[in-house]
Copies of this chain bind each other. A is one copy, B any other.
Amino acid sequence: MTPSPSTMTPPVAAPEPVDVSGLVVGILGGTGPQGRGLGVRLAAAGQRVLLGSRDAERSYATAEDVAARASTVAAGGVEVSVRGGSNSDVAESADLVIVAVPFGGHAATLAGLAAPLTGKIVVDCVVPMAFDKQGAYALPVPEGSVALQAAALLPGSSVVGAFHHLSAVLLEDLAHDLEGDVLVVGDDRQATDAVQALAARLPGMRGIYAGRLRSAGQVEALTVNLVSINRRYKVHAGVRITDV
């Protein structure tokens, strides 16, 4: 029997496309390698980008450089827009904010920004990682994960974990196409849909919903394994999900 339309399962594998092209994307820690890398790729795709830094002066020079590099690869007709500012200015002005600060400054940075980030999607890509003689290892986070720490500090924001596995080296190497999936974790469906759509704006990448925020810790820490893979195989490893 053919099911009637009203009893059919909605096509979950192909959700309504979300248009995020008009969002201004702020990046806290936008002058670090991950922040610059995400910034240049998103700007080249036509996203308006604000690069935040503790030191606003430093951000202006980085923004100029990132804009210039994005312009070299942006498709014809794409308007490249990258501006700098303090982390706090960026949190205030952006529609959606990516957190790309070093783990050591994560809690302190977000603790001061709860008010400007209220009502916004906050995408945390910070990895709790350190190195010793044996290589990289995952640091414990009291809240269970960096993303859960962000959620605890930003009760008015929709916190999503994503963009952990993109090599900063490859992001900044504009001669190199990207390849792989962005695992997106979060509890707010509208927010995870938007972040999946944002990930898909990077050519070669997909945004894949990968569970609730309580499952962010292993996604963050998997970056440690990718670093070990990089060292062993002399590559810049990423992740692709099969069968999706």
Contacts and interface: CB of A to CB of B under 8 A. Distances in A.
Contacts of A183: 225
A137 B214 contact: yes
Interface string A224-237: 11111100111111
Interface in A146-186: 170, 179-180, 183, 185
Copy number in this complex? 2
B228 A209 contact: yes
B228 A13 contact: no
Contact of A234 (B13, B214, B226): B13
Interface stretch (A72-80, A81-89, A99-107, A215-223): A215-223
Assign chain A's interface to a size class.
35 or more
Given A242-B237, A243-B179, A221 B217 contact: yes
A156 to B, nearest CB: 22
A239 interface: yes
A58 interface: no
A232 B211 CA distance: 9
A244 B240 contact: no
Contact of A209 (B220, B232, B236): B232
A99 to B, nearest CB: 20
Given A238-B241, A242-B180, A224 B218 contact: yes
